[in-house]
Every structure is written in structure tokens, then in C-alpha cells.
């Protein structure tokens, strides 16, 4: 396929800029080789940072902060920003954010989501993603999904505290839901919300069970099984408390929907 017919991926621009800089002489051959050497992945000793992830998937590798030291998180984040323009760290507290901000001043902490983001990309967000959650107790997981979707490139319409115990609250947002290209539905307890939403919209629904609930909730197993047994077609389920995975998938679906619209 010639250049005129080539469909460039979102982050191909980084490689093109590198080659153009070499062509213009603003980068030497040695400098270009050094940058290309770190392009596939970068060995930090304790981690191998996948710099090609953005080229393959349209978004860089995400840092799961749980179980990592502050020093490890900072080193990985700096490595990712050395080759890209966005970073997402999930499952971290305010002390980790304070340590990282000393090295990366433009980092932002999302307290409810327990996530850190850095976004140096200046482009409008795509509309089309809605994040719905059943109760206030589900907000940390819902916010993780919303923050992820926005960093991946989609605006997240937040519709919170609309569980099935008061169904009229959900119906007040029906117009927004029906215009969405992907819906993330977050719920604990009996996990009924995704099935209700799935019966009202044409878009794919990504169900997220949370570990919130009493007694035989079994730390989220009860809503997980309920969502897996949904009789509504078009509902897919991620793992317990996996707001990140749901938000990422919703943004990917939305991006493809926009590409189809442009074509």
C-alpha cells in the first residue's frame, strides 16, 4: 500500500518524527540509533518497559502500582515518558503520588480512582463512552474506568448512583446512554445494573462487578456470576473491580466507531 493509502496508527507519528529529524540533520545517526534501541523495550533491571505497546495498541503500557515501590514506579514512568506523551499508574495512594510528582511535576492524582495520570497530548476527546455505576460505594472502580477511558482518548460521561433499587434515576439519563458507542456498567451487591442497561441501549455494555456487598457477596463473586449469566445479548464482563480494563476496552470500541464513521 502506498503512502497515500496508508492508515497511520495513533502513535506512528513518533517514529515518523524521529526519521524526519534524522533526515533534516537535527538528530545524529548515533542519537537515532540510541532512541531506536529503546523503541521496542527498555531494560530497567527490575522491569522491561514495552515502548512498542503504543504502536501496537494505540496506548502505552500501563503501570499497576500495587506491589511496586515508589522508586520502581517513578523509573518506569520516566522511561515511558522518555518515549511517549502519556502515563497511567493504577492502584496507588497519595504518598506515591507525592513522590512521583517531585520527578514529574505535571502528574495528576485522581484520588477516588487511586490513579495517577500524565497527559502531554493536546487533542480533543472523542464523545461516545458512558460510565454508569450502581452506588456510591462503587465509585472507586467507576472512576478508574472513567479516568482510563479519558486518558486513552474518549470523553467519559459519568452517570453515578443509579442502581436498580431506584430505577427512575437511571431512566433520567436514557438519552445519553442511547447515544453512547460503549457503556461501562459498574455494580456490586446482586450485580443487576448491566443487564438493565443492556436492555435499554444498542451499544456494547462492559459489565464490571465490584467487591462491595454484604455476606454472601463473596468479595464480588456473586455479582460476577450474575453478570456472566446475563440474558441480555451484547453484555461482556471483566474481572472483579477491574475498572481499568473496562475503561480501556470502552475507549477502544469508541475509537473504532469513530474511525468507521470517518471512513
- Beta pairing class for 205-209 and 235-237: parallel
Which of 60, 85, 119 is the C-terminal boundary of a domain? 119
Instruction: Work out the average pLDDT over 217-228.
Output: 94
Q: Tell me the pLDDT tens digit for each residue of 48-88.
A: 677 667 767 777 788 999 999 999 999 999 988 887 889 99
Put residue 25 in one of left, alpha, beta given phi > 0 → left and psi -120 to 50 → alpha.
left
Q: Tell me the pLDDT tens digit for each residue of 163-197.
A: 998 989 999 999 999 999 999 999 999 999 999 99
Residue 159: what are its φ and ψ, rounded to 5°?
A: -130, 100
2 within a domain of the structure (yes/no): no
Beta bridge partners of 48: 43
CB 184 within 8 A of CB 155: no
106 within a domain of the structure (yes/no): yes
The set of residues, in sequence order, having a beta carbon less than 8 Å from that of 69 and lying 6+ positions away, is none
3 within a domain of the structure (yes/no): no
Residue 39 confidence class, pLDDT cut points 50, 70, 90: low
* 149 plus 220 within the same structural domain: yes
pLDDT > 50? residue 2: no
- Which CATH number does the domain housing residue 138 bear? 3.40.50.1970
pLDDT > 80? residue 205: yes
154 within a domain of the structure (yes/no): yes
* 113 plus 153 within the same structural domain: no
In the chain the first and final C-alpha atoms are separated, in Å, by 17
Q: What is the pTM of this model?
A: 0.83
* 149 plus 70 within the same structural domain: no
* 22 plus 103 within the same structural domain: yes
* 172 plus 68 within the same structural domain: no
Which residues form the domain of 94? 11-119
* 162 plus 242 within the same structural domain: yes
Q: Which pLDDT belongs to residue 18?
A: 78
6 within a domain of the structure (yes/no): no
* 141 plus 252 within the same structural domain: yes
4 within a domain of the structure (yes/no): no
* 115 plus 130 within the same structural domain: no
| Whole-number Å distance between alpha carbons of 23 and 20 | 5
Q: Flag the least confident range among 13-17, 58-62, 135-139, 148-152.
A: 13-17
- R_g of the chain computed on alpha carbons: 20
263 within a domain of the structure (yes/no): no
- Supply the mean pLDDT for the chain: 88
* 114 plus 57 within the same structural domain: yes
Amino acid at each position: 500500500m502506498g503512502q497515500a493509502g496508508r492508515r497511520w496508527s495513533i502513535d506512528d507519528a513518533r517514529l515518523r518524527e524521529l526519521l524526519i529529524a534524522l533526515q533534516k540533520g537535527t538528530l545524529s545517526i548515533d542519537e537515532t540509533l540510541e532512541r531506536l534501541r529503546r523503541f521496542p523495550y527498555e531494560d530497567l533491571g527490575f522491569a522491561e518497559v514495552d515502548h512498542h505497546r503504543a504502536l501496537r495498541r494505540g496506548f502505552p503500557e500501563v503501570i499497576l502500582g500495587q506491589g511496586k515501590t515508589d522508586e520502581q514506579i517513578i523509573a518506569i514512568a520516566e522511561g515511558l515518558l522518555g518515549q511517549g506523551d502519556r502515563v497511567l499508574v493504577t492502584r496507588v495512594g497519595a504518598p506515591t503520588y507525592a513522590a512521583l510528582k517531585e520527578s514529574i511535576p505535571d502528574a495528576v492524582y485522581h484520588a477516588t480512582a487511586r490513579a495517577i495520570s500524565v497527559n502531554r497530548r493536546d487533542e480533543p476527546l472523542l464523545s461516545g463512552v458512558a460510565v454508569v455505576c450502581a452506588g456510591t460505594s462503587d465509585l472507586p472502580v467507576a472512576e478508574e474506568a472513567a479516568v482510563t477511558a479519558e486518558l486513552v482518548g474518549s470523553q467519559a460521561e459519568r452517570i453515578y448512583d443509579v442502581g436498580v433499587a431506584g430505577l427512575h434515576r437511571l431512566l433520567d439519563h436514557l438519552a445519553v446512554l442511547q447515544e453512547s458507542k460503549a457503556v461501562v456498567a459498574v455494580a456490586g451487591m446482586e450485580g443487576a445494573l448491566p443487564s438493565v442497561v443492556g436492555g435499554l441501549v444498542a451499544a456494547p455494555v462492559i459489565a464490571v462487578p465490584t467487591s462491595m456487598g454484604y455476606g454472601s457477596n463473596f468479595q464480588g463473586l456473586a455479582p460476577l456470576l450474575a453478570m456472566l449469566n446475563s440474558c441480555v445479548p451484547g453484555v461482556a464482563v471483566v474481572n472483579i473491580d477491574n475498572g481499568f480494563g473496562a475503561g480501556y476496552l470502552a475507549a477502544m470500541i469508541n475509537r473504532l466507531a469513530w474511525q468507521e464513521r470517518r471512513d
